Amino acid sequence: MILIAESGSTKSDWVLSDYQGNFKNRFHTEGINPVLLDHKEILSIISSNQELKNSFRKVSEIFFYAAGCGTKETDEKMKEIFQKLMSPAAEIIIKGDMAAAVYSVTLKPAVVCILGTGSNSCFFDGKNIVQRMPSLGYLLDDAGSGNAIGREILQSYYFEKMPRHLRRIFDQSFNMELEFVLTQLYQKSFPNRYLASFTKLAIQNLDKPFFKDLIRRNIQNFLIENLQPYKEELQCYPVHFIGSVAYYCRNIIEEELLQLNYKPGNFVKSPIDALVDNMLESPA
- The answer to whether 17 touches 2, Cβ cutoff 8 Å, is yes
Task: Identify the structural domains of the chain with CATH numbers, from first to last.
Answer: 2-101+272-281 (3.30.420.40)
C-alpha angle 60/65/66, rounded to 5°?
135
Whole-model pTM?
0.86
Whether residue 94 contacts residue 75, with contact meaning beta carbons closer than 8 Å, is answered with yes
* In the predicted structure, residue 283 carries a pLDDT above the cut 50: no
pLDDT tens sequence across 73-116: 999 999 999 999 998 889 999 999 899 999 889 989 999 999 99
Q: Which of 150, 145, 153, 148 is nearest to 243 (CA)?
A: 145
The pLDDT tens digits of the residues spanning 39-57 come to: 999 999 999 999 899 999 8
Write the DSSP string, 201-261.
Answer: HHHTTTTSHHHHHHHHHHHHHHHHHHHGGGTTGGGTS-EEEESHHHHHTHHHHHHHHHHTT
Distance set, CA 130 to CA 13, 100, 161, 275 (Å): 25, 14, 40, 19
- Mean pLDDT of the 115-132 span: 93
CA angle 72, 57, 279 (to 5 degrees): 60
Q: What is the pLDDT of residue 141?
A: 75
DSSP label of 70: S
Over residues 248-268, the pLDDT tens digits come to 999 999 999 999 999 999 999
What distances in angstroms separate CA 136 from CA 63, 67, 133, one per listed residue? Answer: 24, 12, 9
The residue-averaged pLDDT of 130-148 equals 84
User: Is the pLDDT confidence value at 277 over 80?
Assistant: no
